[in-house]
């Protein structure tokens, strides 16, 4: 039996395993994917400094470090239930039940689906699926594709597809309806894109972003937005074109689209068909938190964090004794933040386990500081109001849960 | 083959061994250590199953184990996720098939 079971070998889980193991605990990491790294594996973008964020390399580095600390990493293992029995956690998996005193749930994020009619045809996939096929499996997703949904992830992955020589014909929006919500409203989309404009490969968008913080100018921009789109790295971004239906017999053959007005309403009679052999749907990310829910962890709905998140302290503990969380399960942020959060969780677990070296308090404080500074310097920010979301959770923890936990209150990090 | 063998940042793939496997009776080649979904797509195959009731075609959606859209039968074991399962030598993979809807038929027959 290990001291700690980590569920998820993404940046959060691996960093957590490393931090716990360096403090003398035995750690087992479980992951259902074929290799460790989680969603980090497929990430590939250039920082403003010009340096490449190569997720494959980062994953290998984390794996080697964990391996050197004798962390037992098991891939191809799915966890489907988590329950506490006296002082031990039972982790139910497809290879049987494992037990440990401490569990770190680091299951990451999943993508919101946007059910455009025809979306079940082979050749339609989430934007993340295309990232994994391209950068992890190194298989072409198709010859000519259309991305439905304009957000920071679709821009990042557009770039990755282009790097791999895959032709993305255009980016369009989903048709506005109760499910697509703001993702189908041109002005709302433009607003969120402006927060990512410093990353936009197009100088025009970077330039425009300064001016369009102003509401009136933004409305004008949408009103006069060219039908043919504005080029993002050579691919037209068409904010006034919506996907009405994905068509094809046995697989994708194209997307039926229509022009929209400035509010995103389809203009009848403007339908045309764009040919494509693959379609990527980019609906955004939400925390993948089922396991924390089945374990009985209390949740809060915090939209800035991406949806329902398990309640947790700044040191990544949950109200359930021995259960910790880290990474995107706590809120949607970049891989670097997940890693820094994992480190906090790993040290906090060692602290709870009584592996109290003289430096552990200092380690914990430094780790909490590290998350803050990584967040300040983040180049990829999924939600511009992330700080607000994090503060909300901190306040909820301090009013609802911290008073119950004596351990926490005298070791409180300031 | 629809592979990305040469990538400007991620580099070249040169040393991968291939292994044979079967999908719906046809023999294909996979790279060692790759998933069924990736191997089939590299061979130009997108369709992994049909919807159990309607019979309409399905392929991968999320590619990371979340959506269950890619379920196939592997060496006789049904409902295996093609996007998480690594191809093994001579593996026999079958697409998910349409199933009779017993309840519906009972209702229709009154
Ligand atoms: C498709 C996609 C693309 C993304 N692209 C980017 C990007 O380009 N740049 C960026 O900064 N961020 C990106 N992100 C955000 C990403 O979530 C974070 O960057 C980071 O990878 C989160 O780390 P994590 O450790 O919390 O989770 P993840 O990296 O998601 O790792 C979680 C791991 O848990 C495993 N797991 C989940 N549930 C179970 C279970 N029940 N049993 C066993 N194992 C399980 C998964 O297989 C996975 O390996 C992306 C997210 C997604 C979903
Ligand atoms: S494609 Fe979603 S589970 Fe396999």
Q: Which domains does chain B have, with CATH numbers?
A: 20-98 (3.10.20.440)
Cβ–Cβ under 8 Å, residues A81 and A97:
no
> What is the atom index within ligand 1 of the atom nearest the CA of A157?
8
pLDDT for B77 beyond 70: yes
pLDDT at A46: 83
User: A89 pLDDT band (50/70/90 cuts)?
Assistant: very high
Q: What is the pLDDT of residues B84-109, one digit of tens each?
A: 999 999 999 999 999 988 887 888 88
Q: Do B3 and A78 touch (CB under 8 A)?
A: no
Q: Measured in angstroms, how far is the CA atom of residue A38 from the centroid of ligand 1?
A: 5
The answer to whether A114 faces chain B, any CB pair under 8 Å, is no
pLDDT for A408 beyond 60: no
pLDDT for A6 beyond 50: yes
The CA distance from B63 to the nearest CA of chain A, in Å, is: 5
The answer to whether B68 faces chain A, any CB pair under 8 Å, is no
First and final C-alpha spacing in chain B:
52
pLDDT at A242: 97
Report how far apart, in Å, the C-alpha atoms of A120 and of each of A180, A198, A279 are.
17, 35, 11
The answer to whether A162 faces chain B, any CB pair under 8 Å, is no
Report how far apart, in Å, the C-alpha atoms of A286 and of each of A45, A283, A308, A394, B3 are.
21, 10, 8, 19, 31
pLDDT at A228: 84
The architecture of the domain spanning A124-281 is 3-Layer(bba) Sandwich (3.50)
Instruction: Locate the domains of chain A by residue range.
Output: 4-110+285-411, 124-281
Closest partner CB to B34 (pick from A33, A137, A141): A137
The predicted model gives B32-42 an average pLDDT of 97
Bridge partners of A46, per DSSP, are: A52
Of the listed ranges A182-196, A208-222, A286-300, the one predicted with least confidence: A208-222
User: A410 pLDDT band (50/70/90 cuts)?
Assistant: very low
Closest partner CB to B62 (pick from A52, A123, A128): A128
Which residues form the pocket of ligand 2, taking CB atoms under 6 Å from any ligand atom? B 60-63, 65-70, 81, 83
The ipTM, to two decimals, is 0.94
Query: Closest Cα to residue A256, out of A264, A269, A32?
Result: A269
Share of chain A above pLDDT 70, in %: 91
Highest mean pLDDT out of A208-212, A223-227, A401-405, B87-91: B87-91
Instruction: In whole angstroms, give the CA distance from residue B69 to residue B66.
Output: 9
User: A179 pLDDT band (50/70/90 cuts)?
Assistant: confident
Name which residue leads in pLDDT, A202 or A12: A12
Q: Which residues of B touch A135 (CB under 8 A)?
A: 10
Query: Closest Cα to residue A240, out of A267, A276, A218, A213?
Result: A267
Which residues form the pocket of ligand 1, taking CB atoms under 6 Å from any ligand atom? A 7-13, 30-33, 38-40, 43, 78-79, 106-109, 111, 128, 131, 153, 156, 285, 288, 291, 327-328, 334-335, 338, 380
pLDDT at A409: 43
pLDDT at A214: 64
> What is the atom index within ligand 2 of the atom nearest the CA of B71?
4
pLDDT at A213: 59
Of B2, B48, B63, which to mutate for an interface test with A (greatest number of A Cβ within 10 Å)? B63
What kind and span of H or E run contains A109? strand A109-111
Look over chain A and give the mean of its residue pLDDT values, rounded to a whole number.
91
Q: Which ligand is nearest to the Cα of residue B37, counting in written order?
A: 2
The CA distance from B107 to the nearest CA of chain A, in Å, is: 28
| The domain over range A4-110+285-411 is classified in CATH as 3.50.50.60 | yes
pLDDT at A107: 98
The answer to whether A51 faces chain B, any CB pair under 8 Å, is no
Q: Is it true that A4-110+285-411 and A124-281 share their CATH fold?
A: yes
> What is the atom index within ligand 1 of the atom nearest the CA of A43?
8
Q: Which residues of A touch B28 (CB under 8 A)?
A: none
The predicted model gives B58-76 an average pLDDT of 97
pLDDT at A414: 41
Of the listed ranges A28-32, A45-49, B87-91, the one predicted with least confidence: A45-49
The predicted model gives A146-163 an average pLDDT of 93
Which residues of chain B from 30 to 59 reach within 8 Å of chain A, CB to CB?
33-35, 38, 41-42, 46-48, 51, 56-59
pLDDT for A209 beyond 60: no
pLDDT at A197: 60
> What is the atom index within ligand 2 of the atom nearest the CA of A129?
1
The answer to whether B4 faces chain A, any CB pair under 8 Å, is yes
The predicted model gives A265-274 an average pLDDT of 96
DSSP string, chain B: --B--EETTTEE-----EEEEEETTEEEEEETT-BHHHHHHHTT----EE-TTT--EE--SSSSSSS-TTEEEETTEEEEETTT-B--TT-EEE-B-----HHHHHHHH-
pLDDT for A203 beyond 70: no
pLDDT for A212 beyond 70: no
Cα angle A402-A403-A406, degrees, rounded to a multiple of 5 = 85
User: A272 pLDDT band (50/70/90 cuts)?
Assistant: very high
Burial A384-411 (b: 16+ CB within 10 A, else e): eebeebbebbeebbeeebbeebeebeee
Cβ–Cβ under 8 Å, residues A192 and A184:
no
Of the listed ranges A376-380, B18-22, B37-41, the one predicted with least confidence: A376-380
Helices (H) and strands (E) in chain A, counts: 12, 22
Beta strand pairing status for A124-126 and A144-148?
unpaired
Look over chain B and give the mean of its residue pLDDT values, rounded to a whole number.
94
The CA distance from B20 to the nearest CA of chain A, in Å, is: 17
pLDDT for A204 beyond 60: no
């Amino acid at each position: 039996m290990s001291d700690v079971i980590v569920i998820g070998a993404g940046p959060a889980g691996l960093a957590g395993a490393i931090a716990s193991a360096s403090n003398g605990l035995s750690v087992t990491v479980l992951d259902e994917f074929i290799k460790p790294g989680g969603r980090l594996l497929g990430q590939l973008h250039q920082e403003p400094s010009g340096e490449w964020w190569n997720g494959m390399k980062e994953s290998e580095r984390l794996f080697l470090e964990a391996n050197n600390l004798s962390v037992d990493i098991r891939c191809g293992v799915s966890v489907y239930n988590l329950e506490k029995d006296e002082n031990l956690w039972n982790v139910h998996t497809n290879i049987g039940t494992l037990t440990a005193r401490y569990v770190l749930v680091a299951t990451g994020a999943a993508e919101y689906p946007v059910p455009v009619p025809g979306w079940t045809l082979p050749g339609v996939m989430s934007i993340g699926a295309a990232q994994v096929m391209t950068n992890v499996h190194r298989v072409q997703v198709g010859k000519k594709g259309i991305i439905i949904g304009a957000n920071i992830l679709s821009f990042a992955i557009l770039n990755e597809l282009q790097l791999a020589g895959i032709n993305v014909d255009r980016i369009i929006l989903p048709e506005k309806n109760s499910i697509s919500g703001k993702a189908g409203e041109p002005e709302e989309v433009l607003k969120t894109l402006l927060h990512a404009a410093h990353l936009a490969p197009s100088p025009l968008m970077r330039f425009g972003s300064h001016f369009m913080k102003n509401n009136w100018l933004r409305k004008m921009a949408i009103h006069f937005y060219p039908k043919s789109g504005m080029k993002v790295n050579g691919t037209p971004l068409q904010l006034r074109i919506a996907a009405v239906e994905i068509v094809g017999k046995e697989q994708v053959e194209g997307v039926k689209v229509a022009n929209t007005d400035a509010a995103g309403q389809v203009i009848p009679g403007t339908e045309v068909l764009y040919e494509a052999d693959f379609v990527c749907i980019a609906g955004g990310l939400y925390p993948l938190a089922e396991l924390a829910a089945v374990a009985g962890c209390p949740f809060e709905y915090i939209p800035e964090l991406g949806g329902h998140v398990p309640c947790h302290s700044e040191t990544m503990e949950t109200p359930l004794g021995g259960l910790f969380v880290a990474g995107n399960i706590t809120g949607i942020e970049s891989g670097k933040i997940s890693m820094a959060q994992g480190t906090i969780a790993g040290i906090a677990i060692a602290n709870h386990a009584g592996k109290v070296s003289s430096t552990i308090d200092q380690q914990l404080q430094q780790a909490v500081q590290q998350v803050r500074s990584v967040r300040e310097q983040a180049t990829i920010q999924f939600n511009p109001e992330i700080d607000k979301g994090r503060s909300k959770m901190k306040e909820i923890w301090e009013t609802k849960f911290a008073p119950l936990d004596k351990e926490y209150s005298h070791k409180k990090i300031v | 083959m629809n592979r990305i063998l040469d990538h400007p940042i991620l580099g070249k793939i040169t040393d991968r061994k291939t292994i044979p496997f079967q999908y719906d009776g046809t023999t294909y080649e996979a790279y060692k250590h790759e998933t069924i979904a990736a191997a089939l797509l590299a061979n130009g195959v997108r369709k992994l199953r049909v919807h159990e009731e309607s019979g309409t075609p399905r392929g991968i959606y999320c590619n990371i184990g979340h959506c269950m859209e890619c379920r196939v039968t592997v060496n006789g074991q049904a409902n295996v996720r093609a996007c998480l399962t690594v191809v093994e030598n001579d593996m026999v993979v079958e697409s998910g098939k349409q199933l009779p809807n017993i309840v519906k038929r009972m209702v229709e027959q009154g």
